[in-house]
C-alpha cells in the first residue's frame, strides 16, 4: 500500500507528498522484482487527499518507467480533476505514461538534469492481429495525445512529431527531451527542484486562503 507522506505543517499550509515511481501496475501484475506503483492504491489516496480538510497542497514526485497505459491515464485524470493545489516534479526520467502524469498537475516542473521520453503506445506479449486491435491502440494514443495537449502548452502537431520521430532513438521511435528542452517546447511549465516545487505550492495555498 502506497503511503501519503506529510512533509510538515506550517503557517503556509500542510503539504503531502506522493511518489509515483517505476512502472505503473494496472490489472496485469508485474514481476515481484520490478519497481512498481499500483494504481489501485494511488486512486483512493488521491480521493482522500482531495477530501481532507487538513491537506492544503500535494507534491507529486515522478520517476517513471512506463507501464499500464490505461492505469497511468486514470491516475493522471484524477490528478487533473483535483481542486487541491498540485505540483509535479520529474526526477531522473519520465517515460511514456509519465508524460500525462507530469502535465496533469496544476504546475509541472522538471529537474534540469532529468529527461522525458515520448513514444507511441505499444504493448508487450501476445497481440491478436486483427483490425480492431490496431484501431483500439490508435484510439488509446489519441486519448493520451489529447490529454497531454489539453494540460500543457505543447501543440498537437509538435507532440505527434516528437512521438513519431525516427532520428532520436536507436531501434525505436520517439524522442527524449531533457529538462530545458521539455520547457522550451511547452510540455513542462518550468525547470526546478524541490525548493521550487514547494515554494509554488505554498504560494497557491496562500492565494487559495485569501479567496
Which residues does the annotation mark as catalytic?
A: 96, 119
Cα separation of 162 and 159, whole Å? 5
Cα separation of 163 and 142, whole Å? 12
Q: Which residues fall within 8 angstroms of residue 71, CB to CB, at 6 or more apart?
A: 24, 25, 26, 27, 39
- The grid cell for 151 is 494540460
* H-helix segments, the chain: 39-51, 69-80, 98-103, 131-150, 156-163, 179-184, 194-210
Amino acid at each position: 500500500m502506497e503511503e501519503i507522506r506529510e512533509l510538515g505543517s506550517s503557517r503556509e499550509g500542510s503539504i503531502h507528498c506522493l511518489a509515483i515511481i517505476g512502472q505503473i501496475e494496472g490489472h496485469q501484475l508485474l514481476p515481484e522484482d520490478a519497481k512498481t506503483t499500483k494504481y489501485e492504491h494511488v486512486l483512493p489516496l488521491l480521493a482522500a487527499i482531495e477530501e481532507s480538510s487538513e491537506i492544503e497542497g500535494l507534491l507529486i514526485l515522478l520517476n517513471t518507467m512506463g507501464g499500464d497505459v490505461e492505469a497511468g491515464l486514470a491516475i493522471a485524470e484524477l490528478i487533473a480533476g483535483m481542486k487541491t493545489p498540485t505540483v509535479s516534479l520529474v526526477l531522473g526520467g519520465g517515460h511514456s505514461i509519465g508524460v500525462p502524469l507530469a502535465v496533469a498537475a496544476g504546475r509541472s516542473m522538471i529537474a534540469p538534469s532529468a529527461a522525458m521520453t515520448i513514444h507511441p503506445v505499444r504493448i508487450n506479449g501476445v497481440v491478436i492481429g486483427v483490425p480492431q486491435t490496431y484501431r483500439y491502440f490508435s484510439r488509446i494514443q489519441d486519448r493520451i495525445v489529447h490529454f497531454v495537449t489539453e494540460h500543457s502548452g505543447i501543440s498537437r502537431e509538435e507532440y505527434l512529431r516528437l512521438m513519431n520521430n525516427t532520428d532520436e532513438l536507436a531501434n525505436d521511435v520517439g524522442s527524449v527531451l531533457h529538462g530545458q528542452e521539455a520547457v522550451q517546447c511547452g510540455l513542462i511549465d518550468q525547470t526546478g527542484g524541490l525548493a521550487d516545487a514547494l515554494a509554488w505550492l505554498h504560494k497557491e495555498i496562500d492565494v487559495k486562503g485569501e479567496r
